A and B are shown apart, each in its own frame.
Chain A
């Protein structure tokens, strides 16, 4: 094992006796936990940057501090295609902002720990201690390696601060995706927006959506706008309609129109509907992705019919009972528990609760928010002039409306 700061000062020579100075190492940031060193970079006699693949290395002598390669003259100049995909230890990783998943913080890689695995060197850990800074400044004289300051590369997430880099087919090991979305969101808050955007690009779509939803509106917009159009539309489609509508409403009009036109029919219409209400009204904070069932259905039939619809929306805790799916005249509500426990042959209108507090889409948002919170239910339905169900205001949306701004992004969205 060797620190990168030391390795970089090793003597580089070839079998013909030619010598040179090592400048950097390229690694393959693949799906593997510990990326292998694939290429070495050095300055040739003309002070030009050259590179050799790692398989040209004959021997690495850690004691004598030297690396021997077969032939330095066979080196390629910088601009080959394979180069573009490579990440450089010195230029890119060292000193970069990395996520330390063990401590859930952003930190900087002050030094890197490489381990020899047969003929290969792999990146094993990042050193984030002040000792590492001292080591680099004193050319290795001081600053001993403290094991406690080494963070296993497996739990370090390296980001380049360039969302485009990922699209070029860079591979990453994505342990960060295993965390709950709220925690990923808090971690991205520690990153500059380009890094955050890169992270969202890397996440699987469902995780990316949940993470985006957990960001503050300003940050969400900033991160979202750096995404590529195709991914942006995918995420908008999966997003809770109320959050997606708020996000779209903040985009420049031209972009918003383009996205609305490209979204799939259902989600597109939902978002347009929500965008018609001013931000400070009930319509502005409601969501219209609601599960409905016809009043005349039997419980058994409803269970069968609702199996598919219940898979998609975020809010599934209440099922709203309507006259028929077309006019959506609101008649009552049943809970998911009712649906599961009630007798098969009963009809929905027999088990539903018809006594509902409803909201008007145009009444002030904050007033309605208190109504939702005071009523201690997960959501209240929003009903139009003709008695038709338009959507619901969830308790999460209500809290977001009345909570102080600092608090808002921290508040979890539990029900939607």
Chain B
């Protein structure tokens, strides 16, 4: 019936030799054998998320990127300062914080999956407009502070490469604004992420600087307290930069964006834990690398980015400054774009006004104004001459640390609201750990603030 050599479309379809037609991949294997409707069929059209090794790669990949990108200007400054000033002594804080961070990150992820909504939305819906406004103000202060620090970082990074910050910061601000509003940001983002990979030099540096591992272990597992205001100040800074309020808001909305439904939340838990542990390992390696290079030679105060860059010298030698500059620029540009954008999204959502970069300006007035204002404020404040860069960067993290307990209380109230989270409500173990974190942070903040206040009044509780 069929004839070889007939041409498709030129002869009647019934006379075509169908077998000879296309060059099809005949051998397809795989699939899943399933018993359905009383017979066994091989189904190959199933869309399955990767398992085994692939699954781990899928977790670790984004985790690694988020880790390197999460280390923004404030983080690098705080970890470097901690290492330079107190050597390995503060590592124990990071060890405790790893547990806290993992618990808090996981809670935020869970809250996102259980409700499909962002943190500010939930605050608005559960606690009303007054509390929502309060939370918005807190978030705006915290995020504006961090945005300033990112622009300071952009300036510092470019100065390492010999460009004046008075040129670099305005150009950076305009560039970020333009790229985000007019579109090609997603392409640029990949380049920026690549630049931040430089920071993986830190773990290497931590080893190559040959730190005294005995002292490192001592610093990591035996808490030391010092009656030194700077010590407390840095502890709160470490809290603030590790558990930054904006990271939690991100974590929650990224789960919402990813479209993780409550019944598929289970595997996401591991992602959250892995991300938290990774990011803190990186931070610890920064402290070790700085301590082993600067603290040991008596350089106890980091005044500029150039000082901080010296921690990378064991790996790359003289190129340390340049390399550090590249990494810092990538990280700060990235955060400088994402932070104002995410803040504008979250606030617009809480007020129910249109949001998104694809809107025209008339419809997205509030959204665009917020985004623009944050960049203008960030870049503007960063341009003030003679700001002590490192103090400012660490100061912003301390501010974050002070605001952190407030956000944590909201998160805890929401995640324990069975009407919202249902089966994904906090377990008792979760609550114990989370409340522990809350008490720890609050104590640190209160003690630090109290100390500073008394200091102002001329009472020296902490000695010299």
- Seen from chain A, the residues whose Cβ lies within 8 Å of a Cβ on chain B are 94-97, 105-108, 110, 128, 130, 133, 136-137, 161, 192-195, 218-219, 221-222, 225-226, 245-246, 249-250, 253, 256-257, 260-261, 268-269, 272, 274-279, 281, 283-284, 323, 329-332, 354-360, 362-364, 383-387
- Which residue of B13, B23, B31 contacts A330 across the interface (Cβ within 8 Å)? B13
Q: A383 contacts B28, CB within 8 Å?
A: no
Residue of A nearest to B2 (CB): A387
Alpha-carbon distance A275/B133, docked complex (angstroms): 50
Q: B133 contacts A277, CB within 8 Å?
A: no
Residue of B nearest to A196 (CB): B116
- Which residue of B12, B45, B261, B352 contacts A226 across the interface (Cβ within 8 Å)? B261
Residue of B nearest to A136 (CB): B129
A128-B352, A218-B259, A272-B36 are contacts. A383–B18 as well, Cβ < 8 Å?
yes
- Which residue of B18, B43, B259 contacts A275 across the interface (Cβ within 8 Å)? B43
Question: Does B311 belong to the interface (CB within 8 Å)?
Answer: no
A95-B125, A108-B124 are contacts. A275–B35 as well, Cβ < 8 Å?
no
Alpha-carbon distance A275/B12, docked complex (angstroms): 30
Q: What are some 16 contacts across the A-B interface (CB < 8 A)?
A: A97-B121, A108-B352, A133-B133, A192-B117, A192-B121, A225-B263, A272-B36, A275-B44, A276-B43, A279-B47, A281-B28, A323-B14, A332-B13, A354-B14, A363-B23, A387-B18
A97-B121, A192-B116, A193-B116 are contacts. A358–B46 as well, Cβ < 8 Å?
no
Question: Does B21 belong to the interface (CB within 8 Å)?
Answer: yes
Q: B261 contacts A386, CB within 8 Å?
A: no
Output the least CB separation between B136 and chain A (Å).
11
Contact stretch, chosen from B3-11, B53-61, B212-220, B302-310: B3-11
- Which residue of A274, A331, A363 contacts B12 across the interface (Cβ within 8 Å)? A331
> Contacts of B429 on A, CB cut-off 8 Å?
none
Which residue among A108, A245, A277, A284 has the maximum number of chain B CB atoms within 10 Å of its CB?
A108
A253-B34, A387-B18 are contacts. A95–B129 as well, Cβ < 8 Å?
yes
Other A-B pairs, 7, CB within 8 Å; known A105-B354, A260-B37, A284-B45: A136-B130, A192-B256, A194-B116, A249-B46, A278-B31, A354-B13, A363-B23
Q: B13 contacts A356, CB within 8 Å?
A: yes
> Contacts of B263 on A, CB cut-off 8 Å?
225
Alpha-carbon distance A75/B454, docked complex (angstroms): 54
Q: A283 contacts B45, CB within 8 Å?
A: yes
Interface size class of B (residues with CB under 8 A): 35 or more
Q: A274 contacts B45, CB within 8 Å?
A: yes
Q: A97 contacts B352, CB within 8 Å?
A: yes
Q: B261 contacts A225, CB within 8 Å?
A: yes
Q: B259 contacts A219, CB within 8 Å?
A: yes
Q: A362 contacts B28, CB within 8 Å?
A: yes
Q: A358 contacts B8, CB within 8 Å?
A: yes
Output the least CB separation between A142 and chain B (Å).
14
Question: Does B298 belong to the interface (CB within 8 Å)?
Answer: no
Alpha-carbon distance A279/B16, docked complex (angstroms): 27
> Contacts of A261 on B, CB cut-off 8 Å?
36-37
Q: B37 contacts A268, CB within 8 Å?
A: yes
Alpha-carbon distance A226/B353, docked complex (angstroms): 27
Q: A278 contacts B124, CB within 8 Å?
A: no
Question: Does B25 belong to the interface (CB within 8 Å)?
Answer: yes
Question: Does B32 belong to the interface (CB within 8 Å)?
Answer: yes
> Contacts of B35 on A, CB cut-off 8 Å?
257
Residue of B nearest to A254 (CB): B34
CB within 8 Å: A-B pair count: 158
Question: Does B351 belong to the interface (CB within 8 Å)?
Answer: yes
Question: Does B19 belong to the interface (CB within 8 Å)?
Answer: yes
Alpha-carbon distance A246/B176, docked complex (angstroms): 39
Q: A278 contacts B19, CB within 8 Å?
A: no
A-B interface, 7 closest residue pairs, ranked by CB to CB distance from nearest: A108-B352, A192-B116, A354-B12, A107-B352, A363-B24, A193-B116, A356-B13
- Which residue of B10, B34, B121, B354 contacts A257 across the interface (Cβ within 8 Å)? B34
Q: B353 contacts A278, CB within 8 Å?
A: no
> Contacts of A364 on B, CB cut-off 8 Å?
25
Question: Does B397 belong to the interface (CB within 8 Å)?
Answer: no
> Contacts of A250 on B, CB cut-off 8 Å?
46-47
Question: Does B115 belong to the interface (CB within 8 Å)?
Answer: yes
Alpha-carbon distance A50/B351, docked complex (angstroms): 31
> Contacts of B19 on A, CB cut-off 8 Å?
385
Residue of B nearest to A381 (CB): B13
- Which residue of B12, B22, B116, B125 contacts A360 across the interface (Cβ within 8 Å)? B22
Alpha-carbon distance A384/B43, docked complex (angstroms): 18
Q: Which of B403-460 contact A (CB under 8 A)?
A: none
Output the least CB separation between A393 and chain B (Å).
13
A108-B124, A357-B8 are contacts. A277–B44 as well, Cβ < 8 Å?
yes
> Contacts of A386 on B, CB cut-off 8 Å?
18
Alpha-carbon distance A39/B8, docked complex (angstroms): 73
Q: B261 contacts A222, CB within 8 Å?
A: yes
Residue of A nearest to B124 (CB): A95
Residue of B nearest to A384 (CB): B18
Which residue among B132, B133, B259 has the maximum number of chain A CB atoms within 10 Å of its CB?
B259
Output the least CB separation between B369 and chain A (Å).
12
Question: Does B41 belong to the interface (CB within 8 Å)?
Answer: yes
> Contacts of B37 on A, CB cut-off 8 Å?
260-261, 268-269, 272
Alpha-carbon distance A329/B13, docked complex (angstroms): 10
- Which residue of B11, B26, B129 contacts A355 across the interface (Cβ within 8 Å)? B11
Alpha-carbon distance A52/B303, docked complex (angstroms): 68
Residue of B nearest to A134 (CB): B129
Q: A358 contacts B13, CB within 8 Å?
A: yes
Q: Which of B187-236 contact A (CB under 8 A)?
A: none
Question: Does B318 belong to the interface (CB within 8 Å)?
Answer: no
> Contacts of B129 on A, CB cut-off 8 Å?
95, 110, 133, 136-137
Output the least CB separation between B14 and chain A (Å).
5
Question: Does B62 belong to the interface (CB within 8 Å)?
Answer: no
Output the least CB separation between B40 and chain A (Å).
11
Alpha-carbon distance A225/B261, docked complex (angstroms): 8
Output the least CB separation between A148 and chain B (Å).
16
Q: A253 contacts B32, CB within 8 Å?
A: yes
Q: B21 contacts A358, CB within 8 Å?
A: yes
Q: Which of B49-107 contact A (CB under 8 A)?
A: none
Output the least CB separation between B355 and chain A (Å).
10
> Contacts of B164 on A, CB cut-off 8 Å?
none
Residue of B nearest to A219 (CB): B259
- Which residue of A257, A277, A359 contacts B45 across the interface (Cβ within 8 Å)? A277
